[in-house]
Amino acid sequence: MAPFAQRHFGDDFPRLAYADAIARDALPAHVQVEEFYMQSGALLGSRQAQSSYTSLNYTHAADAVAQRAPQVIVQKVAMRPDDRRLSLSCNNDITQDTLDAIAVRGLPRPLLVAEIDPQLPYLGGSATVDVSFFDLVITPPPPYPALFGLPRQPVGDADYAIGLYASTLVRDGGTLQIGIGTLADALSHALVLRHTDNARYRRVLHALDPQLASHPLVQEIGGLDPFEVGLYGCSEMLNEGFRRLVQTGVIKRKVHDDLALMQRIENGSTLSIDHATLDAEGEYLHGAFYLGSPEFYEWLRTLPEDECRAIGLRRISEINQLYGGNETLERLQRRHARGVARHRYGRPADRSSPDCFPGRERY
């Protein structure tokens, strides 16, 4: 494992002292760590971890943090040379929602500290803030540790088959949410194959089920053809699957926050200026945070300017909730939505398992 770990995580990736201490049930008395995500069965032997765990949907994490009345919030940010704006980058998920929830409770605004990391990709959307958003901005001296590289498991035959079947239910012009893991990788691969090598895609499907192409559900809500209009991606986490879908032209349907424009697109009454506006200002991929491999981060860092503008980071409340005041707009943006994830116990998840489907409100 040593060569892989060195290549994937880097020689200087820091170990989290508090995580090691929790695993040994040895946190100092003056330190308390409360987490809302924990890998199943990973810390059964740690009394400290078990007693300080809070069971939360990501959607409600910001409000839970606000309830604790934090005094300081520290996070890494990205900054471009000669720019007065910062990008919350991979940490856009709950910061602004937390500050709003704190204000609603009438609590004092916490001290906000930004740590500039030159390795973080600079992404836009609601992730961009003026430098004055923070009370203190620091740039630690180099060297800078590599960003955490998420390991990926190989995709098995069963997951590939599930991904192929699921890909037939994705409608051109629709919306896609994918989770993390081998099932998401399998679906992404199937969608890429459908778009880039449709003849082979159809041969594989025929081998799985000769009647699949004529199945009523496929004909009613899905399809087998390449993506002419393309998909719009809207997911908690941006990951490797979305990278491939963008690179191959599957993810390309842009949306806009102008309600009137989206209504004209929906009813087919667009003006000539609408297409120019959508092309210049529209975005085809929204997420609250991102996590992936070193290659994934390099892709984000080196995106051409026009492609970078088409990827917008949003608050977790915007991604995960449909009923936040912009329901009419978001329904137009997120039409024909499809989502797939892996259940926490290992089986595929869909609308029948709402406990494990982040953002399920919109599907």
Q: What is the pLDDT of residue 351?
A: 40
The pLDDT assigned to 341 comes to 62
Task: Answer yes or no: are the C-beta atoms of 146 and 10 closer than 8 Å.
Answer: yes
pLDDT of 358 reads 36
H or E element that contains 129: strand 128-130
Q: Which amino acid is at 259?
A: L
Work out whether strand 72-79 and strand 85-87 pair parallel, antiparallel, or are unpaired: antiparallel
**Residue 113 has what pLDDT?**
98
Q: DSSP for 65-103?
A: HHHT--SEEEEEEEE-TT-SEEE-GGG-SSHHHHHHHHH
Side chain identity, residue 44:
L
Residue 18 CA to residue 39 CA, distance in Å, equals 16
120 neighbors 89 (Cβ within 8 angstroms): yes
Provide block-wise average pLDDT over 10 residues at a time, the chain (363 residues): 80 86 95 89 91 90 96 96 91 95 98 97 95 96 89 92 97 95 95 99 98 96 98 96 98 98 96 95 97 94 96 94 85 94 48 35 30
What pLDDT sits at residue 323? 77
Task: List all residues 6 or more positions away from 192 whose beta carbon is below 8 Å from its beta carbon.
Answer: 244, 245, 248, 250
* Secondary structure letter of residue 169 according to DSSP: T
Cα dihedral sign for 314, 316, 322, 327? negative
Partner residues linked to 125 by β-bridges: 313
Q: Which uninterrupted H or E stretch holds 289?
A: strand 285-290
Q: What is the pLDDT of residue 165?
A: 98
Q: Quick check: pTM over 0.95?
A: no
What is the enclosing helix (H) or strand (E) of 286? Answer: strand 285-290
Residues 111 and 297: their CA atoms lie apart, in Å, by 29
